[in-house]
Amino acid sequence: MATIGERSGNVNRDISQAMVALFKESTGRGPTRVRTYVENGLVVTVLYDTMTKAERTLMDDHQEDVVRDLRRIFQGTFRKSAIEIVERLTGQKVLAFLSDHAVDPDYAIEAFVLEPEPGAEPV
């Protein structure tokens, strides 16, 4: 069986595509750019330009805190799905999931700590 490192190019792409679909399903639109990194028991997906039109309207009205609060609610609702995606595509259990969103510039980050592969050092 191939390790994550041996198949990481496909895993990176597949996680990126699945996270775009999850954002689109959860918020009504997906990001315009996404990149996933899989390395040493960590999976990090960085998404750019994720805000909806409604969130942008709130930003134009200087309601950054409202947008951040909305994003935290979204993060809670798709937490289980995000973990399931990463576990399915990496074949490893997710020990921890962290999610945050910067509103200006518009970046989201989804980070996952994986259970170590046999013989590997924990993060």
Domain boundaries, the chain: 4-114
φ/ψ of residue 45, rounded to 5: -115, 125
Query: Please, which residues bridge with residue 34 across strands?
Result: 47
Both tokens of 40, joined, read 């040493």
Whole-model pTM: value is 0.86
pLDDT digits (tens), the chain, 123 positions:
444 544 556 999 999 999 999 999 988 999 999 999 999 899 999 999 999 999 999 999 999 999 999 888 888 889 999 999 999 999 999 999 999 999 989 999 999 999 987 777 777
Residue type at 114?
A: L
